[in-house]
Chains A and B, each alone.
Chain A
């Protein structure tokens, strides 16, 4: 199975801050990586696919980059609605695997 190592596990930032989350795959997954946000009691919401492509309707303050084994997710100007837990997920190979998650809150 491909191991996805995500960091940090939690993050507290101020409104307007830029935040960065990293995800490392244990083997080359090209750009078969998605980023999800999950709010308490809700389903995961896909924000980015193919490592850098925003889903329709996702604000442009969200971004993703990387290929191969190293990936980055950023929010350029943190907004109140951005709180939640963020996961990376590889879909290059079954079994699909996720990073451990990053819990983001507002200072």
Chain B
């Protein structure tokens, strides 16, 4: 069974840097084809894809956030990290990580419950 859980600060001040951790189980990120993605979601809105990291350390980013985003992994600890710099109020919302189904393009079939970020000074 695949599970993912996000963790990180619940409150960040504007201009600060956010670092989130996704801790997963039930799969290996060293397995060819494996990947983990990050999404965020505002209340009442659809999820917004942010970034994706593959088993071979290839990475993809939402173009409008590319200069602010970093994604990395610790395969042995079964963790993926997302960093977003220069946090603004528009970055508030629920952040989810998700498992990419191998062999199905960018289909994400298992999601974490999410971690809620508030941006305020």
Q: Do A and B come from one complex?
A: yes
By a beta-carbon cutoff of 8 Å, the part of chain A in contact with chain B is 32, 34, 42-46, 49-50, 55, 87, 89, 91-92, 94-101
Q: Note all chain A residues with C-beta closer than 8 A to B48.
A: 98
Known pairs A43-B114, A50-B104; list 17 more (Cβ under 8 Å).
A32-B105, A34-B107, A43-B113, A46-B108, A49-B107, A49-B109, A89-B47, A91-B104, A91-B107, A91-B108, A94-B52, A96-B49, A96-B108, A97-B49, A98-B48, A100-B45, A101-B46
Given A91-B106, A92-B105, the answer on whether A42 and B113 have CB atoms closer than 8 Å is: yes
Q: Note all chain B residues with C-beta closer than 8 A to A95.
A: 49, 60, 62-63
Give the tally of cross-chain contacts (CB within 8 A). 54
Q: Note all chain B residues with C-beta closer than 8 A to A100.
A: 45-46
Q: Note all chain A residues with C-beta closer than 8 A to B52.
A: 94
9 cross-chain pairs, A with B, having the tightest CB-CB distances, nearest first: A43-B111, A98-B46, A91-B106, A96-B49, A91-B107, A91-B105, A46-B109, A96-B106, A94-B60
Q: Note all chain A residues with C-beta closer than 8 A to B109.
A: 46, 49, 55
The CA-CA distance from A34 to B114 in the complex, in Å, is 20
The CA-CA distance from A39 to B105 in the complex, in Å, is 25
Of all chain A residues, which has the CB nearest B43?
A40
Q: Note all chain A residues with C-beta closer than 8 A to B105.
A: 32, 91-92
Q: Note all chain A residues with C-beta closer than 8 A to B112.
A: 43
Given A43-B113, A94-B106, the answer on whether A101 and B63 have CB atoms closer than 8 Å is: no
Of all chain B residues, which has the CB nearest A33?
B107
Of all chain B residues, which has the CB nearest A99?
B46
The CA-CA distance from A97 to B62 in the complex, in Å, is 10
Q: Note all chain B residues with C-beta closer than 8 A to A87.
A: 46-47
A41 to chain B, nearest CB (A): 8
B98 to chain A, nearest CB (A): 8
The CA-CA distance from A96 to B46 in the complex, in Å, is 12
The CA-CA distance from A107 to B103 in the complex, in Å, is 40
